[in-house]
Structure formats: C-alpha cells, structure tokens
Structure 1
Amino acid sequence: MATKSKQGEQIHPAIKGVQMSGASKVKVAVSDIDGVLRGKYLHIDKFLGAAEAYPAGGFGFCDVVLGWDMMDVTYDNTTATGWQHGFPDALARLDLDTARNIPWDANTPFFLGDFVNA
C-alpha cells in the first residue's frame, strides 16, 4: 500500500522500495526507433525528481536515439532530429510500474521510460 508524502500525495510503492533500498543510483531506459534499449544512470536525487507526478516529473534523454540505427549510425534523411538540431534532450517520463532490480549490477533499481511531448 502506498504511503503519503509531506504534501499528502500518495507515494508509489516502487519509489518507496527504491528509498528503502539505500541505492545511490537508478538505471532508466527508453527504447530507440529500432526497439533497442538505451539507458543511463540517474543519481537517487535526480531519480526522485524525475519520478514526481505530472507535470513536475520527467527527465531528459538525448533524442539521437530517434535518429540513428542499431549500429549508432545517424540517419541522413530525418527531420525529427539530427545534427542540424544539435541532438537536444527529449522529455521522458518514468513508468513506475516497470520497476525491477538488475541482479548483475548490484541489484540497481531499474525503470523504463516513455518519450512524451512537453
């Protein structure tokens, strides 16, 4: 069952689990255009901010993953992203229901994210 935060909001059980684990980092990942999982680590404080409820939460993830193939070669015919745009960060939001621990990475907490419009 979810507990309440200082502001009276419900805390998702996955967030509570991460807090209780004592982890200093969390791995987050999104799928690129070919379905390849692309991830990065977030410091626990950054993760807790990213896990906040809409509209406050979310994290930046370089949009190059929407403009290259599975061998990391950029497409030359895309208008959605590219060198001409500087490969900025796109907004991604965590799907807290995807919480897992990575057993071969010291049980680091792991979450999937989804790209969203700002």
Structure 2
Amino acid sequence: MFLRSPATRFATAAATGAVVALAAAGPAAATAGAPESGAERTYQGRVTARTGLLLRDAPNRGGTVVGSEPYNAIVTIYCRTRGENVDGNDRWYLLADGTWAWGAARYIANIGDPPPWC
C-alpha cells in the first residue's frame, strides 16, 4: 500500500463526485450505456508498452507516478479523457483496478468497445 498525495486524494474525490452527480441527474443519465441486465458495464484494455505502463495521478506525463502495470497486463478502464499528447494520442484512461490512476491510451489497446468519456 502506498501513501497518496493530496493531489491524488483530490482527483479520486473529484472522480467520485462526478459519479455521484451523474447518478443524481436521473435514472436515464445514470444508466446510459449500461447493459440491459442493469449491471455496471466494465471496459478493459491490454498494456502494450514493452517496458510497462506508468500510472499517474493526472492525465499527463508530469503527474506523479502512483503505480505501474507490466507489459501485456489486462486493466479495467473506468472512463477516458483528453490530456497530454503522447506519440500522437491525447487520450488517457482512468483505471479502476483499485488505483484510480491515469494511463496513457497510447499504451493501452482496447479489448472490445472503448470506454465512455469521463
């Protein structure tokens, strides 16, 4: 277990607040894109960075490194956003594998459909 910086705690709280606000907006907004069974849909990706993927507390390479995933690892993606451009790709994924950290989409190949926008 690692200690989280105030910025990481803030980012986690902001992401949680966004989910709560979406749920409060109404049933139609809260379930948009959810499977018909009512279960929350998950999105996955495979790490393609040969040396592993650094996970950060913000969607840019200046964000503090809070973890990593090895090459070929399967990660759970919560949503995507635009951030710093990495080799021609400005999308970043918020990973929901317990870290709630950002990974550059340039190094994560979607398995199935892409995740929704944050």
Q: Give TM-score scaled by structure 2 length.
A: 0.26
Q: Give TM-score scaled by structure 1 length.
A: 0.26
